[in-house]
Chains A and B, each alone.
Chain A
Amino acid sequence: MLRSEIRPTADDRRDYASEFTPGLLDPDVMPAGVAGPRGKAAAKRYNVYRNNVTVSLINALAETFPATLRITGEQFFRAMARFHIRATPPTSPLLFEYGRDFPDFIAGYEYAQSMPWLSDVARIERAWLDAYHARDAAPLAALAFAAVDPERLAAAVLTPHPAARILRSRFPAVTIFAANRSGEPVGPIKTVEQEDALITRPALEVVVRSLPPGAAVFLTRLIEGEPLGAAAGTALSESPEFDLSASIAGMLEAGAFSAIRSGD
């Protein structure tokens, strides 16, 4: 039989998917058009799909945000994640792309208001996963940086490493992230200082560091393509204690950049 002979007949529906899906994220909706065998009911049967969808997506968020989960506890996290999944289900089949809106959701989540730093910890975790999957690239070697003519250094422009991310927080988000991300017991968080995070993956391991004063501005400007001299000037004007040589040494060690183009 040739394919052209097969045409949809009047009783063929295209909309089985439109009928099937609304109930997957809404426990009060049951699709028409499905049944159990031999006249059996379909409610508990359909519930298997509903459960698979909800639980697997909650698990996906739990895997992406383990420190956030550890801070809130399992029950709190899963309830919060369920609200988010119903409000903002994934739009990509790549689950490691899911959860970009979750930190903002946490910031506005009624029951998380007593933990104003929680969304910043989640932001670091989301950036961690982006760094994990980022394109591989060799980090800029200290020698390559040192080889640039000092007179042309101020005009030099750096290429950011694909994994490099910077996040600024009003809270000690890096310390809280680090304490809860490991399997070790979490003691009291002693610092109340605000922390800026640098997330990099120079080889296969993602590293999260907290940055000294002014470095976040400096690195952000460099990542945006501003020449080194101008970026340093901006950092210094915003943070008088900004230390340029320490920041350069730190960014090279972290692998935040992959190339340098000296000024012409």
Chain B
Amino acid sequence: MGGSTARVDSQTSDGLRFPTHPVAGLAGTSFKHEHLAAILADGRQEGFFEVHAENYMGAGGPPHAALTRIRQDNPVSLHGVCMSIGGPQPLDKVHLGRFKGLVERYEPALVSEHLAWSTHESTYFNDLLPLPYTRATLARVAAHIDEVQTAIGRPILLENPSTYVIFPESTMSETDFLREVVRRTGCGLLLDVNNVFVSATNHGFAALGYLADFPLDDVGEIHLAGHAEQADDEGERLLIDSHDGPVADAVWKLFDVVIGRRGPVPTLIEWDSDIPEWPVLKAEAAAAQEILDRHANGFVTRRVHAA
């Protein structure tokens, strides 16, 4: 083996660039650049930080400097928003390559994506769009997750969506669909409790019934967020997954039920617009941590899929 080859080998096998920070049982928050100074001034944080992968797909500059700084002291969760796993067309290989690059660079404790799609043909729509649940979409979603997991060399967590319309052609429930995706690909699940509440309200089913049917053992992360309220064509309540306010009381109650059954799971407070000062976001995470800690006794910490 030549000298230059040996050098390359040692660079890739020398171990981690960052310390390993365990994420089990922790609450965390979205990481927003405007909070960086306040977070650093606040001293060592207990929790983890989640970032949208796409915001770090530039070559350099302040985003990478900020994430590098945060990653030194905390576990980071890498949350992909636009892989378009639920779309009918093949995955964007360039985008997948960028995603893989981030996984390698930041060694995230958690890696997740959505059961949704956002690109069709050459247009990127910047929203999490819904898909019918059929045997055909199941096969494609499973193939796409296989492709992502093969590329990054580790399992991902797949997030349940919030939806506003249904596809009459669907032949499976969302929970059956997710269960089958997990069985086929070995991925884990990211249970967004706010999405469950939003979809349950919008489609008139019981959130507790959905959660009773949800494969909780496969959940490796939970999301909590605020939602907004509008009206549907019949003038009835239509909830919007807006991530622009505190977590609703009803969602906290569902979260408590989930953790009571599942035990502590890394739990994220998502807040993406009308972003408050850091102490407000931190207090929401502290409220989640309290529920996690309350249920910690009696549960042996279990290994989750992507932790």
Contact = CB atoms under 8 A, between A and B. Distances in A.
A33 B81 CA distance: 25
A91 B234 contact: no
A36 B58 contact: no
Interface stretch (A71-79, A112-120, A131-139): A131-139
B150 to A, nearest CB: 14
Interface in A29-49: 33-38, 40-46, 48-49
Contact of A12 (B54, B127, B135, B204): B135
B63 interface: yes
A21 B125 CA distance: 8
Given A45-B232, A56-B126, A93-B54, A37 B166 contact: yes
A41 B233 contact: yes
Contacts of B135: 6-9, 12
A255 interface: no
B185 to A, nearest CB: 10
Contacts of A37: 166, 202-204
A20 to B, nearest CB: 6
Interface in A18-33: 18, 20-21, 24, 33
B126 A14 contact: no
Contacts of A18: 120
A8 B57 contact: no
Judged by DSSP, the binding face of A is loop
A44 B233 contact: yes
Contacts of A248: none
A239 to B, nearest CB: 32
A211 B96 CA distance: 41
Given A13-B132, A45-B165, A48-B238, A90 B124 contact: yes
Interface string A149-181: 000000000000011000000000000000000
A18 B118 CA distance: 12
B65 A204 contact: yes
A36 B167 contact: no
B42 interface: no
B230 A17 contact: no
Contacts of A15: 88
B300 interface: no
A17 B89 contact: yes
B2 interface: no
Contacts of B138: 6
A60 B124 CA distance: 13
Nearest to B171: A11
Contacts of A132: 58, 61-62
Given A12-B137, A35-B168, A17 B117 contact: yes
A94 interface: yes
Given A17-B88, A21-B123, A33 B164 contact: no
Interface string B72-91: 00000000011010011100
B142 interface: yes
A90 B92 CA distance: 15
A229 interface: no
A194 interface: no
A142 interface: no
Nearest to B239: A48
Q: Which of B92, B125, B129, B130 has the most CB of A within 10 A?
A: B125
B58 A96 contact: yes
Contact of B234 (A6, A41, A90, A134): A41
B122 interface: yes
A201 interface: yes
B175 interface: no
Contact of B59 (A53, A95, A134, A204): A134
A92 interface: yes
A45 B233 contact: yes
B9 to A, nearest CB: 25
B211 interface: no
A36 B233 contact: yes
B166 A34 contact: yes
Contacts of A91: 122-124
B223 to A, nearest CB: 17
Contact of B126 (A9, A90, A131): A90
B16 interface: no
A38 B92 CA distance: 36
Given A34-B166, A57-B126, A132-B61, A93 B142 contact: no
Interface in B114-153: 117-120, 122-127, 129-132, 134-139, 142
Contact of B166 (A17, A36, A43, A162): A36
A89 interface: yes
Interface in A46-92: 46, 48-49, 52-53, 56-57, 60, 89-92
15 contacts: A12-B135, A15-B88, A16-B131, A35-B166, A36-B234, A37-B204, A38-B204, A41-B234, A42-B233, A44-B230, A89-B123, A89-B124, A89-B125, A94-B54, A134-B60
Interface of A: 3, 6-9, 11-18, 20-21, 24, 33-38, 40-46, 48-49, 52-53, 56-57, 60, 89-96, 131-137, 162-163, 201, 204
Given A17-B87, A96-B58, A132-B58, 9 more contacts: A13-B132, A24-B125, A35-B168, A37-B204, A48-B230, A89-B124, A93-B81, A93-B92, A95-B54
